[in-house]
Structure formats: structure tokens, C-alpha cells
Amino acid sequence: MKKIFGILIVSFALFVSCTNDLLEPFTPGSLTEEVAVTKSSDLVRLVNSSMNILTNRADYVFSSIFTDEAAPGSNNGGQGITTDYVFLMNVSNGSAAAIWQSNYFALARINRVITFADQVVAISPADQQVINRAKAEALVLRALAHLKIMSYFSTNPKDDAALAGVLADRIILTTEQPLRVSNGEFYTAIHKDLNDAIAIFDANTATAYAGIIKTYYPSKVLAQALKARTYALKGDYPNAEIFANTVINTSGITLANTQAQYNAVFHTHSEAAGTEVIFRLRRTVQQNVQTTNLNNGWVSIANRRNGSPFYEVSRALYNKLAAVPNDFRLNTIVHLTGTSPSLIDPNYATATDVRNSDIIVLQKHGGQSAVTATNGFNPDFMVSRISEMYFIRAEARAAASDLVGVGTNLKAILDARFPTAQVAPVFANAQAAWKGILDERRKELSFEGFRFIDLKRIGTLAGAGLDRDPSEYASSAWSFPAANPSNLPLTSFKFALPIPQVELNANSGIQQNPGY
């Protein structure tokens, strides 16, 4: 773990915080953590820089390309078509390395917040509340990072005995080489962090951040939502439903229920307070660079046909979105009108040049404002939305064989995504109900980093796997190596990512996943 945890605290001065402030300059020569972190504002800025590290688009992009949300675009110059899109997964895979490293880099800072929150001396009772809040926020972020690591790298998150990752619940010295621990230990640590954070939030009286929307910072509601997500990953649906219900009934956050509101969530981030979003990772205009922008994970320049899309919305996903007229999600996800819109070929299945006749441009992240330019609009990373809680509640009903309850919870989302009330879905059996949930999660949560994990955890229950349209891989236009990649069975070992080679080089004793 030397590579992951060999991060000196002084380096965090290089990062722009979520409040657009840089850390105050340090005294020359004072290169120790004890000097660097001495007051509540240092903790706040360290929380901000931790969140900045977590704005790594690797899992959002990887999940879409490796599964069936995205397909090679008209301007694809080779990006991903010899690796993630064709399911080439090995210890040198860049996506696996980025997911692993970004979370552990963030954890190194998060753990310093938690540790130093107990050592910084408050200058007043109000200042102590700020210190306490920073600690609670860090605890939630630590749970989030551990949850993501377990989701991607565990072979079976439902098995307490299976290996997760390295448990980073303290500052780990650069001389240490810790090993992976079990899912059970991860679950215990995650829930402890979330419970401790909730207790702090319950007692906290710190003044709200000036001019900052509450969804920019970890909160009690996010802690509750992550408990619901964590229990759902484990398959513990009685507890998952308890926390999903708590968020739905007490958070004050409601589903966006018009096209304008839904667009505002993703395209401009100007939705009304209490609408849809539980937590987002904020990006600033100063951070608007092609190498890290969320939208530039799929396009080189802009969310337009002439914006050099090297990945597009998959034809299979587009067909599902367009199957029922007036679904708000179609117009939010796909650029259909205005400057240089998508080209939708009704005869795509028999087209001789489908690469250039059927161009379905993604615009979910940042809409038409997301253009690669200095100080331009920079889309935030959606981490948790209220719709996920309805899905978790639907899953709990499916696990309890309450097929009507599944339909009721899906209807709540559908009613908010169409201009008129929708008929509740009806399912003949449990497998059909799980399939209905999986299909709706695919449409609602597309390009937000869920699909890979969703297939891994409930695909078998739904009797469904990857769903790519033949037009997305049968064409020779993209020069796929070897056989055209049409599917990957859910039994594949590749649904647990490899421990990256860079980690193995630094920590030779760490356990690798089977198959790699």
C-alpha cells in the first residue's frame, strides 16, 4: 500500500476546494501534519480536497462502456474499443487502477480529517461544532469510498467471507503493507462510520455553509441513503427498506416531476432546493479541463454531434427510452434538438454505414453548456438521488415476494418521469419483478456509475445480463479486435475488477482476485 498511502499532508495545498478557496499558505519549512492542520478551517478545506479527489470519472465512464449504456461513437479514434468495450480486463487495466487509486488517495486525506478532528483545539463552542461537522462529513465520505471499493473489487458482496479491499479506517504509514480484509469487516466499518456520523449530525449546531447548497456536502440524509445502498448491496433488504423509507419520508427531498426540473438537475444544476439530489460532488469552472471533466469522458469537445463524440448512448438504451412516448429521461440523456443534434436512423439495423448514420449523442452531464473551454461550465458528479431510494424499496418488496409493492414503487418514479400518471407495472413472478427493477434502474441511473454494479448484484435474480444491440458491435467500422463483443456472462470473473498492477508492485503480499 506504499503507493496508495504515501501522500504527505502538505500536498493538499495544491488542490482547489469546493468553496473555491485555496488553503492558506504554510510557514516555509513547516512540513508536518501537526503544523498543517491546526484549526477548524484546515479541516473543512481538507474535506473539500478529499471530495475533489473523489471526482474521478473512471467508474462513471467504465460502467457505461463495459456494460450496455454506451457504444462507440462516430468520432471514436480507438478509445476503449480494445480494452473496456471488448471486456479486456487484466491487472494493467486503466479503469480498475483509477477506481482503486482515487478512492484510496481520498481515504488518505479523509482519515487525516477524522484523526485531527479529535486533536484540533476549538477557539469557541461554535468552532467546536464546525470541527464536529467536518468529522461527520469525513466519516460519511470514508463509508462512501469503502462501499465503492467493495462494490467493484469483491467477488461477491453478499458473502461476508469474500474479500473486499484494504480497510483504510486509520492513517496508514508508508512502511505498512496491509492486506485485504473480508466483506464482513468492510460492512461493519461502513455502518459504524455512518452511525457515528448520524449521531454527530443529530447533535450538531454549526452554522450552514454560506451560499452553499446542502447537497454539496455530506449530510445525515446522505448517511442514511448510503446505509440503504449498503444493505441493498449485501442483500439485507429488511434493513435496506428501513433506511430507504427514512430518506423518502423524512429528508424533504422529492422527485423532479417535470422535464424542466429533470433537465435542471443534470444540465444546469439549478433545480430547486429539495428536488431530487441527495448529494453531488461539485466541480468548479476553474477545474474545467478535458482530462477530468465528467462530460469529456464520452466526448472530446461538447455534447453535440459536431463535438467529437467518441462514445454515444447505446442504441439498445435509446430504444428502451424511446419505447414509451414522452419519457422525460430521453430528452435529458440524449441531445435531440438544437445545435448539431443526434442523428436517429430509423433503418439503423440494416444501414451500411451505421457509424455515421445513427449518431446518438449523450448530453446527460452538463447538457449543451458543457463545452471544453477555460472557466466553462463543469458538470457535477451525481452521487445519490432520491430515485435510488424508491428503487431500493422496490427491491425490498421483490425480496419479500410483494409484486404489487414493486409496481407501486416503480410507479412513483414513472409518474415523475412522464407528464401524466402511469399505470403501475404488473409482474407475473419474482424474476419478472427483478427484471422490471433492473430495466428501470438502467434508464433512470444511466451514466451515473450504477450499471456494472447493478448487473453484478441483481442481474441473476432478474435473469438478465448485458443487452447490446447488434448494430453496436457487428459493424467493422470500429475495427474491433478478434471477435465482435456482444455479451459477457454474469458468471464471468471480470465482474470483480483486478487489484491493479501498481498496487501489486508496491504491496506484493496483497491478494489478487481469481482469474487475473
Average pLDDT value over all residues in the chain: 91
What is the per-residue pLDDT across 379-421, written as a single tens digit (0 to 9) for each? 999 999 999 999 999 999 999 999 999 999 999 999 999 999 9
Give the pLDDT score at 495: 97
Give the pLDDT score at 13: 35
Mean pLDDT (whole number) for 73-81: 91
Q: Is the pLDDT of residue 31 over 70?
A: no
Mean pLDDT (whole number) for 491-502: 97
Give the pLDDT score at 151: 98
Q: Tell me the pLDDT band of 6, cut-offs 50, 70 and 90.
A: very low
How far from the centroid of its chain's Cα atoms is residue 365's Cα?
13
Residues 6+ apart with CB under 8 A from 507: 1, 2, 3, 177, 178
Residues 6+ apart with CB under 8 A from 250: none
Give the pLDDT score at 211: 80
C-beta atoms surrounding 99 within 10 Å: 24
Give the pLDDT score at 333: 98
Residue 57 lies in a domain: yes
**Cβ atoms 32, 106 nearer than 8 A:** no
d(CA 335, CA 370) in angstroms, rounded, equals 12
Residue 393 lies in a domain: no
Residue with cell string 416531476: 257
Q: Tell me the pLDDT band of 28, cut-offs 50, 70 and 90.
A: very low
Segments forming the whole domain that contains residue 182: 39-207
Q: Is the pLDDT of residue 7 over 80?
A: no
What is the per-residue pLDDT across 204-249, written as a single tens digit (0 to 9) for each? 999 999 887 779 999 999 999 999 999 999 999 999 999 999 999 9
What is the per-residue pLDDT across 264-294, written as a single tens digit (0 to 9) for each? 999 999 999 999 999 999 998 888 999 999 9
Give the pLDDT score at 33: 63
Mean pLDDT (whole number) for 98-120: 96
d(CA 51, CA 470) in angstroms, rounded, equals 39
Q: Is the pLDDT of residue 318 over 70?
A: yes
At 280, is the secondary structure helix, strand, or coil?
strand
Mean pLDDT (whole number) for 106-125: 96
Mean pLDDT (whole number) for 365-387: 92
Name the residue type at position 6.
Answer: G
What is the per-residue pLDDT across 319-345, written as a single tens digit (0 to 9) for each? 999 999 999 999 999 999 999 999 999
Give the pLDDT score at 1: 52
How far from the centroid of its chain's Cα atoms is residue 340's Cα?
29
d(CA 456, CA 489) in angstroms, rounded, equals 10
How far from the centroid of its chain's Cα atoms is residue 116's Cα?
28
d(CA 240, CA 380) in angstroms, rounded, equals 27
Residue 478 lies in a domain: no
Name the residue type at position 487.
Answer: N
d(CA 298, CA 338) in angstroms, rounded, equals 19
How much is the CA Rg of the chain, to the nearest whole Å?
22
Give the pLDDT score at 482: 54
At 314, is the secondary structure helix, strand, or coil?
coil
Lowest-pLDDT choice from 34-38, 174-178, 455-459: 34-38
Give the pLDDT score at 472: 85
Give the pLDDT score at 20: 35
Residue with cell string 439495423: 349
By CB atoms closer than 10 A (0-12, 13-18, 19+), residue 424 is middle
What is the per-residue pLDDT across 470-479, written as a single tens digit (0 to 9) for each? 888 766 677 7
Residue 65 lies in a domain: yes
Angle at 217 (CA atoms; ends 450, 444), nearest 5 degrees = 25
Q: What is the pTM of this model?
A: 0.93
Element (H, E) at 151: helix 125-153
Q: Which residues of 248-286 are buried (b: 16+ CB within 10 A; e: fewer)?
A: beebebebbbebebbbbbbbebebeeebbbbbbbbbeee
CATH number (domain holding residue 78):
1.25.40.390
Largest CA distance in the chain: 72
- In the chain, how many domains are there? 1
Residue with cell string 470541527: 131
Give the pLDDT score at 18: 38
Give the pLDDT score at 373: 80
